[in-house]
Each structure stands twice: as structure tokens, then as C-alpha cells.
Amino acid sequence: MVWIFLGPPGAGKGTQAVLLAEHLGIPHVSTGELLRRAMRNGTELGKKAKSYMDAGDLVPDPLILELVREVLAGAKGCILDGFPRNIAQADVLGAILKGVGLSLTGVLRLDVPDEMLVARIAGRAREESRADDSEATVRNRLKVYAEQTAPLVEYYRRAGKLVDVNGEGSIREIQTRIREIAAEAAGGTKE
């Protein structure tokens, strides 16, 4: 069982992905966490990624995809959080999944109105004393997200894999919706 979580900044995809992974007993895969772990462990990929990150550059797709391939090899499934981020990554991910004997169960897109996202992130910024989450910055991040993921959303919609999830409500309410979708996909075996 492989699920992808998509959603704009502040939608709660990280929180919801972790909860579903724990519920299903499969790993939660965040590419950011994979990079940090590879760097901490001093792996060859970690060293390469660190050189890009230390220079302030984005880690190139081939390195990210190799990290994902390593995690998926031998796995019975996972929750991919915020990955893939573009059509090229989605195409390669499909080949990786096929190569390790897995298939994509579905793509859960958390749907939250922009005004609610701005309020959530502003609240988080106050709690964490983060100056980089001003309203203008958040609105720009939402614009960039929409531009970059619109093709990916359409890609998975055409493939019949995209499921929109109402991302409004409490963490528990949203998780209940997600678990119902997962149970339906699994034939009702994991409620």
C-alpha cells in the first residue's frame, strides 16, 4: 500500500501522513527527513546531498529519487509526504514502484481554503516565533505551490488516483476521513 499526500503549506499533510502511517503500520517517508538522516549517517548519498544543501542549492531530483528508491526497496508500503513535487518525479516514482513490486494506492490531496491556511501558518509562526511566516510570505508560498503542483494534481487525476480530502476541521476529524478512504481502498480491511 503506497499513498502520496499532497497539500499546500499549512494543510496538515505532515501531521495526517504520520497518523495514517502509524495506523497502517507502514513507514512515513518525508524526503526532507530522508535527507537529514542520510547526512547524519554519513552515507554516500547524504554526503552528496549535504554539498548541495551547504551551498544553498536544491538537492537534484536524481539524488532525491535514489533516496526514495532505497527506502522502497523491500518495503511493504509507505506514506510519501510531499513527494513527488513534479511530473518528472512522478514518472520516475512510477518506475521505482514497479521495479520494487509496489503500486500506487492513491494520492490524498488535502483541500483547505487559502484563508484558513494563512491563519494556520500565522498561528504556527506565533507559537514557534518564526518571522519567515508573514502573511505576504505565506501567500507567495501558496501561489508557488499552486503553480508547481497543478500539473501534478491533474496528472494523478487523469490516472484515477487522486482523492480530494476536506482538510477543514480538527486533526481527528480529518484523520477519520482519511482512514475511511484508506479502508475503502483496502477493501475495508483496516478500519
- Which one-letter DSSP state was computed for residue 9? T
Residue type, 50: K
* Cα–Cα distance, 123 to 121 (Å, whole number): 5
Beta-bridge partner residues of 79: 3, 28
Residues whose CB falls within 8 Å of the CB of residue 113, separated by 6 or more in sequence, listed in order: 168
Catalytic residue flag (residue 190): no
Tell me if residue 141 is catalytic. yes
Catalytic choice (36, 50, 69, 124): 124
Which one from 40, 47, 98, 130 is the annotated catalytic residue?
130
124 is catalytic: yes
- Which entry of 85, 139, 161, 177 is annotated as an active-site residue? 85
Alpha-carbon distance values, 108 to 97, 130, 170 (Å): 17, 28, 17
47 is annotated as an active-site residue: no
The question of whether 172 is a catalytic residue gets the answer: no
165 within 8 A of 177, measured Cβ to Cβ = yes
**Active site members:** 13, 85, 124, 130, 141
